[in-house]
Amino acid sequence: MCGICGVVDLHAPADVETVRGMTATLAHRGPNGDGYFFADGVALGHRRLSVIDLTHGGDQPFHSPDGTLHLIYNGELYNYRELRHELEGLGHSFRSASDTEVLLTAYREWGDACVSRFNGMWAFAIWDDRRRRLFASRDRFGVKPFYYRWSGSRFSFASELKAFRADHLGGPLRPNHSIIRDYIAFDRFDHTDDTFFAGIRKLPAAHTLTLDDSGLRLSRYWSLERRDPPTGDPVAAVRELFLDSVRLRLRADVKVGTALSGGIDSSAVACTVDQLLRTEVADARPVGDRQATFTAYFDVPGYDERPYARAVVDRTIADPTWVTFTDHELVEALPSIVEAHDEPFRSTSICAGWFVMRAARAAGITVVLDGQGGDEVFAGYPAYLPARYRDLARRGRIFELARQATRFNRSRDLRATLKVLGRAFAPAKLENYLRAKQSGSPALVGDALRDLPASVEQVESPYSDSLRTLMTRILTVRGLPELLHAEDRNSMAHSIEARVPFLDYRLVELAFSLSAGELLDGVTTKKIVRRALADVLPPAVAARTDKLGFATPEAVWFRGALGDFAADVFSSQAFRERGFVNADAALSRLDAHRRGTLDAGFELWRALNVELWARSFLPATD
């Protein structure tokens, strides 16, 4: 894992000073060294976190043998050994053991189409001296970040938004008022290619970018679409592909650990690593004699995952680390967390990941496996159940719908059943309105944002889609992108590479070939994952129907030290003058929350987070 940045202006000298400054801001992403390439109109910078081939053979920028191609790269190609073998068969030779050299050699052999052969996570840029051309790419799901600013002649890019502070010729960082309003009013972010900073965009996942004299062009190289179903047993296919995905993600020359929440997804990763440790010792060598796991917990009813995580630890030979923190410790860490993330995020649950990664770094871990993506890929969220009911109704399968709804009622209660059925069949506009009332906070929008066009109609309802459409949207637009953003920032803030086995593209394509009935029934989400991994998961974990993840007792904290801190922020002159948030409304909600007459933890966090972000990243006048 690394940090990359660069400036390309084909009609100006290389911007050496800017790129050196941008690279310095990314030191946490690559503590093992830096490197640069400068040519006429081009400046590239790189910070290295050594994971594969710890020698200088993997240093970057990496240059082709003839000196015409120059690569900077953030990520890992998990199938680099197989690609290397194929390329050697085509006559290529290698001078290092790194996946970096494999990537550049693949580009030399297959050109822009090389990205379709990669199984991994990446954001890279290749400068071609002969063609005077920059070629960049981002992995299929956007696990690795790539931000850019394009003026029409000057192109700057980086792994993190904070690097653009050093891009003085590009201008100061300015707030994107439309995105800020979406965040405050509708709990929306990471849902477009725009960022919280005006003029700075994300390269979309599964896209390439080309820059030359003819301009800037983006092109999609992969998309989610319905695939042909497996010819054999789909349960066996899921089990075998998941095992291989974990096996590939253990490839490293440094110590590997696992983030364990106690949910099905992270438990599946931990239990599969343990299986490999017992049966395929060579593949599991980076894990060590015992798998190191890291679990966040809180001594608050409803937020303690230890019983489930302990069930995993007891079933494996894991060496657990239990991570907790108080609201006082959170307040103390908030400046560092906000700085690490570059943009506001949904809730303090993201902060739990930051503390987990800090503990992993303290334990000497450089790579952490995580369960992100399991819910998105295999229909694990509660919102998928109404979509399933709706699909059955559209197909005229009323008796099957009634049977599944009856089963759901037996496992829950009548109120829960009516709620799910109501969401399945409520008109989309009504559901949009109710959802905005539930999670949105239009009244918190301050004067600086009030005149921007926005309406409840812009808030999509997750309950108006078909199951397949909903899965695609949560995987690509609303859900996974923000989780991957947080995962990258939390891990890289502590110089750790996070890997996500559920996002192996082969596994995702398999999931999208399965029928709705194979993914879930009227009661059980992630049905095929539970069946495929039944022999490795503890029964108590496999049977879970609740969801926590690294959840935090946010509502409790806003009645304690976090609430005290928020009161100081909301009462400040800077908060009121900035105008992003209505200060009176924020103070009123905080008071009602602390008195117990309103549960406003999420919206209070958004009001607090956006102000802390502004103080960290925006000029005082903004």
What DSSP line would sit under 274-318, residue for residue?
HHHHHH-TTTTGGG-SS-EEEEE--SSTT---HHHHHHHHHHTT-
Pair 49, 497: CB distance under 8 Å? yes
Q: Could you tell me if 203 and 292 lie in one domain? A: no
Tell me, yes or no, whether 212 lies in a domain.
yes
Token pair of 345 as six digits: 């995020």
The DSSP line for 433-490 is HHHHHHH--GGGB-TTTTTS---GGGS--TTSS-HHHHHHHHHHTSSHHHHHHHHHHH
Pair 325, 349: CB distance under 8 Å? no
Among left, alpha and beta (phi > 0; psi -120 to 50; other), residue 132 is left
> Which residues share a beta bridge with 212?
215
Question: Looking at residue 192, what DSSP letter applies?
Answer: S
For the entire predicted model, the pTM comes to: 0.92
Q: Could you tell me if 188 and 246 lie in one domain? A: no
| Boundary of a domain, candidates 517, 542, 567 | 542
Q: What is the pLDDT of residue 86?
A: 99
Q: Could you tell me if 159 and 262 lie in one domain? A: no
Q: Could you tell me if 348 and 259 lie in one domain? A: yes
Q: Could you tell me if 173 and 283 lie in one domain? A: no
Q: Could you tell me if 204 and 88 lie in one domain? A: yes
Q: What is the pLDDT of residue 593?
A: 97
Q: Could you tell me if 284 and 416 lie in one domain? A: no
Q: Could you tell me if 258 and 353 lie in one domain? A: yes
Q: What is the pLDDT of residue 433?
A: 46
Residues in the chain with pLDDT < 70? 1, 387-440, 453-465, 522, 547-550, 620-622
Q: Could you tell me if 494 and 568 lie in one domain? A: no
Tell me, yes or no, whether 72 lies in a domain.
yes
Cβ-Cβ contacts under 8 Å for 256 (sequence gap 6 or more): 250, 286, 287, 365, 366, 367, 368, 369
For residues 162 and 460, give the distance between their C-alpha atoms in angstroms, rounded to a whole number: 30
Q: Could you tell me if 210 and 109 lie in one domain? A: yes
Q: What is the pLDDT of residue 375?
A: 93
Tell me, yes or no, whether 230 lies in a domain.
no
Query: What type of residue sits at position 581?
Result: V
Tell me, yes or no, whether 547 lies in a domain.
no
Residue among 601, 552, 556 nearest 305 (CA): 552
Q: Could you tell me if 154 and 65 lie in one domain? A: yes
Q: Residue 305 is part of which domain span?
A: 235-378+480-542
Tell me, yes or no, whether 304 lies in a domain.
yes
Q: How many domains does the chain have?
A: 4
